Structures are given as C-alpha cells and as structure tokens.
Amino acid sequence: MRAFIRLGALLLLPLWLSACGVNDIPTYDEQTTATWAQVENQYQRRADLIPNLVETVKGFAAQERETLTAVVDARSRVGQMQVPKDLLTNPEAFRQFQQNQDTLTQALSRLMVVVERYPQLRSSENFLTLQAQLEGTENRLAVARRDYIEAVRLFNTELRTFPGRIWHSLLYSDLEPKQTFSAADGASEVPRVKFQ
C-alpha cells in the first residue's frame, strides 16, 4: 500500500509543480526575449527605409542639408551602436539605446516638417510611398514597444511576487529584472502649432 501511495505522489508531483508556477519565470523570460526581437525588427525596418527617404527628399530640398545630415547622422549612430548581450538587464546600456532611437525619431520628425515646405515633394509618388511605409513602421514600432513593456511587466512582477520570488531564488537566480522603455525627454510638452 505504501508503495502505491509513493508512486501516486511521484506521479502527482509534476502536476503540482507545473500548477504552482515553477515554469512561469522561464516562460515570461522567453516572452520578453521574443517581444524584444520584434522591437529590434521594427527599428531595423525603420533604419532600412531612411536612406531611400533621405535620397528622395535630397532631390527636392537641397537647401535643407542640415536636417538631412541630422537624419543620416542619427541613423548612423543607431547602426553603429554595439548592443551588449545584457541590454535588457543593463540600465545604462538600455538608456543609451533608447536615447539613440529617440534622437533618430526626433530627426525624422524634423524631416517631415521640412517636407511640408515643398508641395512638389509631397505629391511625389516615391515620397508618398516612403512616407506611408515610415508611418506604418512607426505604428508597428509603437505596438512592438507596447507588447515588450507588457512582457517585461509580467516577468518583473513574477520575480517580485509569491510564489515566483521563491522559484527565482531557488532555480532562476541568474535571471535579472528587465529594463523597459520610458517616455522621451520633452514627451510631456504640448507641441506648439503656428498658422501663417
């Protein structure tokens, strides 16, 4: 009879362990990694569109060299950044990555303002296509960042709450809390609109 009880306990142990959350931490860790890959994918898509956009604008707006240079320089900084393996758990590296991406976003915003000065450029089929692709990419990027923020929230919460806190200390102590995005400097300021 005792052997039967022991066998039953051994058979129920995996069910109990799976129900108690022992697998939640690695599951959430993998989810943050996957959603981060999607964020990087969208950043790469944006970086790939920029040279075509700059070349199209260059033909129409030669006197806007400063803005075009800012966009090219920002893209170059983003492309040259060495992304460390611990980016998601290294606050300084994550801040630098986000700062470089924010600089590129600001430069692209200035480029779109410049475009408004050139009606013939705004009506160019090439430019309209590139602009639509860039807008779509920015929307995809916002969604990917939102998904990543949610994945990080789940992962970090699991590390800080019961029973995840216990499993983290016993089995997954090598996993650190993940970094998340914060609003860019000046994001809370309302843009000024001036009509001429």
Kindly report, residue by residue over 129-144, the tens digit of the pLDDT: 888 999 999 999 999 9
How much is the pTM? 0.78
Rounded-to-integer distance, Cα 2 and Cα 37, Å: 51
- How far from chain centre, in Å, is Cα 65? 29
H or E stretch including 152? helix 125-160
Rounded-to-integer distance, Cα 187 and Cα 75, Å: 21
DSSP code of residue 176: P
pLDDT tens figures, 1-23? 777 777 666 666 565 555 578 88
Strand spans (E) along 82-167: none
pLDDT tens figures, 48-95? 999 988 888 887 776 677 888 888 899 999 989 888 999 999 999 999
Contact (CB, 8 A) for 61 and 118: yes
- Burial label for 116, CB within 10 Å (0-12, 13-18, 19+), is exposed
